[in-house]
Amino acid sequence: MKHLVSMKQLTEAEIMGILDRADVFKKYGIRELPGKYFVSNLFFEPSTRTKMSFEMAERQLGLDVLPFEASFSSVLKGETLYDTVKTLEAIGINALVIRHLEDNYYDQLINRTSVSIINGGDGSGQHPTQSLLDLFTIREEFGSFKGLNVLIAGDIDHSRVARSNADALKKLGANVTFLCPTEWAGEFDSVSEWDEVIGQSDVVMLLRVQHERHEEESVFTNNSYHEQFGLTETRAKMMKEHAIIMHPGPFNRGVELADSLIECSQSRIFKQMENGVFIRAAVLEAVLKGRN
């Protein structure tokens, strides 16, 4: 595997292989890769969890990380993403983690550069490492995916997390239901009433309302959205005893879910963040070894 840009490219066996390797890293520690590799993280959108966990994984793998800040680069002079990548290829970079506002930005890169590309999120398209860490967290909890009922609620149409997880979870045998305002469903079939699905769900995954991707101002206030489409304390009481709450972050407290639920006993939100380091180390290892 020279690149990782979409969950659609991974077979079930490849997904499970990455999860297994992350499990080894979590149990026994992340081991340094033999050889010398240079990597850089090109983030053209704000990020905390993804960017920092990639950098933590890179350093634990013993990689040389070259800093990159879009606001201090030749991007401000009009340099294209392709030319930035070709410049970094020329100076010896082996792999790039890229987050970009354009959907499918990687299509212009992967057949035109020797640098390995790891997609750290493209527009409203895909976010494969987030999906993998979500899968890892779910497998830690339930052992497998077959027959699990996963509810994904929130701004579905604008969510790369929803798309990545829908592809992967269905491939692994889970049942996926989407809950959102009808106008936010995009290409997905969805429901709009919690009572239909909350009691049957094993995993309740909330998604942030992405105001920055909406062309028109939302008709919802924070309070009205929470009351209609958020996971309230009352709705949480209707969940199965063993069900878990997830959110890729960043979360809006009191909007997607009640503040009191973020660190409740059923929440795995900060566990997801912890698992992100192990998953991203496993992906980096697989991609860099795949170059040989």
| 280 marked as part of a ligand binding site | no
pLDDT classification of 20: cutoffs 50, 70, 90: very high
Q: Are residues 135 and 87 in the same domain?
A: no
Q: Are residues 266 and 284 in the same domain?
A: no
Range of 52's domain?
7-127+273-290
Please report whether residue 169 resides in a domain: yes
Q: Are residues 56 and 173 in the same domain?
A: no
Residue 124 contacts residue 54 (beta carbons within 8 Å): no
Please report whether residue 87 resides in a domain: yes
Please report whether residue 112 resides in a domain: yes
Q: State the pTM of this model.
A: 0.94
Please report whether residue 1 resides in a domain: no
Q: Are residues 235 and 138 in the same domain?
A: yes
| 130 marked as part of a ligand binding site | yes
The answer to whether the Cα torsion of 185, 50, 109, 2 is positive or negative is: negative
pLDDT classification of 120: cutoffs 50, 70, 90: very high
Q: Are residues 168 and 231 in the same domain?
A: yes
Q: Are residues 99 and 152 in the same domain?
A: no
Tell me, what's the pLDDT at 216?
64
Number of domains the chain is built from: 2
Residue 89 contacts residue 112 (beta carbons within 8 Å): no
Residue 237 predicted with pLDDT over 80: yes
Q: Are residues 118 and 48 in the same domain?
A: yes
How many residues are present in the chain?
292
Q: Are residues 237 and 286 in the same domain?
A: no
Condensed to tens digits (0 to 9), the pLDDT of residues 144-197 reads 999 999 999 998 988 999 999 998 999 999 999 999 998 888 889 999 999 989
Residue 33 predicted with pLDDT over 80: yes
- Main-chain phi, psi angles of 253, to 5 degrees: -60, 130
CATH number assigned to the domain comprising residue 78: 3.40.50.1370
Q: Are residues 267 and 277 in the same domain?
A: no
| 77 marked as part of a ligand binding site | yes
| 250 marked as part of a ligand binding site | yes
Q: Are residues 171 and 248 in the same domain?
A: yes
By 3-state DSSP, what share of the chain in percent is helix, strand and coil, each rounded to 5?
A: 45, 15, 40
**What average pLDDT score do residues 53-68 get?**
97
Q: Are residues 170 and 89 in the same domain?
A: no
Q: Are residues 150 and 166 in the same domain?
A: yes
